[in-house]
Amino acid sequence: MTATTLTLADATARHDLQVLAHLDVQATIPTATGPVAQGDVLLLPVPPAPAGEPVPAGGVVLVAGEHAHTLVAPDGHATWRVEDVGQTVGWVGVSGADVLVMHAEHGAVALAPGCWQVRRQRESDGMRSRLVMD
């Protein structure tokens, strides 16, 4: 991962999303260039997927839970396509900077340009597997 110049404080103010008090809001948000996990969500760089819809100004909830994983992007910098099949939630197309996945408990991660598959993570006790709940 590389680092952006955007801090968590910048991102929360820009997108009107809150994070929990234990996070360092002055920390620089890392930019993922390879697979990255954020709680119960896994973000994987993949070859281009079919086109999606522009991410609206208020963002898109990728996965809801106690705290939502929310995709936010400057106008025109990202697209989103829902594909709720198996563990796959959908696809994000990133064409510009400051495209973020934000979460109140985990902070934020920026996504490098390209196509990203958004997946739910699973955990197993050896007998059964279930979706990780965050």
Q: Residues 48-72: pLDDT tens digits?
A: 877 899 999 899 999 988 889 999 9
Confidence of residue 130 (pLDDT cuts 50, 70, 90): very low
Alpha-carbon distance 95 to 109, whole Å? 16
Location of structure tokens 């973020």: 100
Q: Which run of H or of E encompasses 52?
A: none
pTM for the full predicted model: 0.84
What pLDDT, on a 0 to 100 scale, did the predictor assign at position 134? 53
Under a CB-based contact definition with an 8 Å cutoff, are residues 71 and 59 in contact? yes
- Over residues 92-123, the pLDDT tens digits come to 999 999 999 999 999 999 999 999 999 997 55
Under a CB-based contact definition with an 8 Å cutoff, are residues 121 and 134 in contact? no
Domain residue ranges in the chain:
2-131
Confidence of residue 129 (pLDDT cuts 50, 70, 90): very low
What pLDDT, on a 0 to 100 scale, did the predictor assign at position 49? 72
Alpha-carbon distance 6 to 105, whole Å? 18
Average pLDDT of span 65-80 = 92
Location of structure tokens 């965050």: 134
